[in-house]
Amino acid sequence: NAGVMQNPRHLVRRRGQEARLRCSPMKGHSHVYWYRQLPEEGLKFMVYLQKENIIDESGMPKERFSAEFPKEGPSILRIQQVVRGDSAAYFCASSQKKANQPQHFGDGTRLSIL
């Protein structure tokens, strides 16, 4: 009964390096969402994707951040030239292709920037 799988669970990078976060949605789910969560704060929506398409990236910074959900393989959130302020927990969620469906979340990737 595989849920949403995120890896790695913890990722440490030095300033200027690249971070790649992976997310495999639940079986049968075609919608993927990425969120960022800072300590003591709520979830901040970043990007919403379907297979091979970015549907809404209004919450993602214009520079250094990109996301993809290829036809084969997991969804990837990529952060280039990381800075200290990128340290956060990044969560992926997936849902079915229907309105009003609940989201199923992974356990997140904790990104720490040295």
Q: Indicate the length of the chain as a whole number.
A: 114
Residue 65 binding another protein, by CB under 8 A: no
Give the tokens for residue 103: 């989201």
Question: For 97, phi and psi rounded to 5 degrees?
Answer: -85, 65
Interface stretch with another protein, choices 14-22, 64-72, 75-83, 90-98 (CB under 8 A): 90-98
Interface stretch with another protein, choices 12-20, 48-56, 61-69, 73-81 (CB under 8 A): 48-56
Q: How many helices (H) and strands (E) does the chain have?
A: 0, 11
Residue 111 binding another protein, by CB under 8 A: no
109-113 and 10-13 beta bridge pairing: parallel
Residue 105 binding another protein, by CB under 8 A: yes
HSE-CB of 102 using CA atoms within 13 angstroms? 2
Considering the complex, what minimum distance in angstroms separates the CB of residue 2 from another protein? 14
Residue 57 binding another protein, by CB under 8 A: no
Considering the complex, what minimum distance in angstroms separates the CB of residue 82 from another protein? 22
Interface residue with another protein, options 28, 39, 85, 102 (CB under 8 A): 102
Q: Are 64 and 54 contacting, i.e. CB atoms less than 8 angstroms apart?
A: no
Toward another protein, which CB reaches closer, 1 or 14?
1
